[in-house]
Amino acid sequence: MRHQRVLVTGATGFVGSRLIECLNCDGHSVIAAVRTPVSAGVPVFQMGDLSGKQDWSSALVGLDVIVHCAARVHVMSEAAADPLAAFREVNVAGTLNLARQAAAAGVRRFIFLSSIKVNGEWTEPGRPFTHNDCPAPADPYAVSKAEAEAGLQELARQTGMELVIIRPVLVYGPGVKGNFQRMMAWVERGGVLPLGAVDNRRSLVALDNLVDLIVTCIDHPAAAGQIFLVSDGEDLSTPDMLRLLGQVLGRQVRLLPVPVSWLRIGAAWLGKRSEAKRLCGSLQVDIEHTCKTLDWKPPVSLELGFRAAAMTAE
């Protein structure tokens, strides 16, 4: 592996901070783009808001690769009056502004951390998402990511800068927040969960598997121009996920086999229809293209990934 000079945006985030650790261990020269002053253990570029107006020129000198993790992320309780405009300002205008300046500065490769939500929200049994599916984004966050991808692809065609797009599924690991953290909290509390009859399939990706893929894409010659879906390669039902969490947390998980139709009715009555979809619906990805193109496989097993996440559970 040839050592590269790499800029990581979103450097203090869940993915970015772990990525910087791994790039440092591999001997790459790393610059962390941050919004607030921090000690990142590497040189820091102090940026403002990620928008179409940010001047990146001083950070781009001599760079080989940019890994763009920073984004306005999907939120459960949206406060913006116009969510799509807010997502577009950061995820589209901010991303394309950085990419244009990078191409002009001679940056060789731009790695964009997108989202599986570009493919869609749910999959049918036995029909996982693939890398060449037509995009079907369903919410403002996903629309903004899809538009950013399209803009980057056009820029790559015009300038010759190499583009790699990575679409992760739900990422979990040490310090995870959001839905996975809530599931760990349910298991920690014990009690009975009415999810024993759910028969779905979900793809997940351990933080270290995602980071390993990003590091692989830093200089792999076959990565240029590709869209990669990434997961652990092992899919679980919601009940199996809860049982595995119980195993690694040392907690007994009791699941009541309530019919899924009842769960959906109850969730609708409580105004939690989207939560029920996440727990009962399927979302699977096919990573064969990723593995074959890069001669790559996820280095961390599902069980080891769950154990690493559980070590930091409160």
SS (HEC) of the chain: CCCCEEEEECCCCHHHHHHHHHHHHCCCEEEEEECCCCCCCCCEEECCCCCCCCCCHHHHCCCCEEEECCCCCCCCCCCCCCHHHHHHHHHHHHHHHHHHHHHHHCCCEEEEECCHHHCCCCCECCECECCCCCCCCCCHHHHHHHHHHHHHHHHHHHHCCEEEEEEECEEECCCCCHHHHHHHHHHHHCCEECCCCCCCCECEEEHHHHHHHHHHHHHCHHHCCEEEEECCCCCECHHHHHHHHHHHHCCCCEECCCCHHHHHHHHHHCCCHHHHHHHHCCECECCHHHHHHHCCCCCCCHHHHHHHHHCCCC
pLDDT top residue among 132 and 268: 132
Bigger pLDDT: 196 or 166? 166
Q: Tell me which residue has tokens 């990525």.
A: 19
Question: Quick one: pLDDT band at residue 77, thresholds 50, 70, 90?
Answer: low
Six token digits for residue 240: 């199996």
**Which range is least confidently modeled, 45-59, 220-234, 294-308?**
45-59
Query: 141 catalytic, yes or no?
Result: yes
Residues 72-78: contacts with CB under 8 Å, at least 24 apart: 72/141, 72/144, 73/141, 74/115, 74/117, 74/139, 74/141, 74/142, 75/141
Which of 95-109, 175-189, 195-209, 232-246 is the least confident region? Answer: 175-189
The residue ranking higher by pLDDT, 246 or 38, is 246
Cα–chain center distance at 277: 20
Does the pLDDT value for residue 169 go beyond 90? yes
Q: Sorting pLDDT into bands at 50, 70 and 90, what band is 16?
A: very high
State the pLDDT at residue 152: 98
Would you put residue 201 in left (φ > 0), alpha (ψ -120 to 50) or beta? beta
- d(CA 109, CA 66) in angstroms, rounded, equals 7
Q: For the ranges 3-12, 143-152, 170-179, 263-272, which has the lowest average pLDDT?
A: 263-272
* Average pLDDT of span 181-208: 90
- Label residue 1 by pLDDT band (50, 70, 90): low
38-43: average pLDDT: 67
Higher pLDDT, 314 or 203: 203
Determine contact, residues 266/253, Cβ cutoff 8 Å: no
pLDDT, tens digit (0-9, with 9 covering 90-100), for 231-261:
999 999 999 999 999 999 989 889 999 888 8
Please check the confidence at residue 46 and state whether its pLDDT lies above 80. Answer: no
The reported pLDDT for the residue numbered 158 is: 97
Residue 171 vs residue 313, higher pLDDT: 171
Q: Is 279 a residue whose pLDDT tops 60? A: yes
Q: Among residues 141, 172, 228, 296, which one is catalytic?
A: 141
The answer, yes or no, to whether residue 270 has pLDDT greater than 90, is no
**Mean pLDDT over each residue of the chain, to the nearest integer:** 90
Q: Please, which pLDDT band fits residue 40 given cuts at 50, 70 and 90?
A: low
- pLDDT greater at residue 85 or residue 49: 85
pLDDT exceeding 70 applies to what percent of the chain?
Answer: 95
The pLDDT assigned to 142 comes to 95
The 10 Å CB-count burial string (b at 16+, else e) for 23-42 is beeeebbbbbbbeeeeebeb
Whether 103 has a pLDDT exceeding 60, the answer reads yes
- Structural domains of the chain, ranges and CATH numbers in brackets: 5-174+203-232+284-300 (3.40.50.720), 178-199+237-280 (no CATH)
Query: Given a cut of 90, is residue 189 above it in pLDDT?
Result: no
Residue 214 has pLDDT above 80, yes or no: yes
pLDDT of residue 275: 78
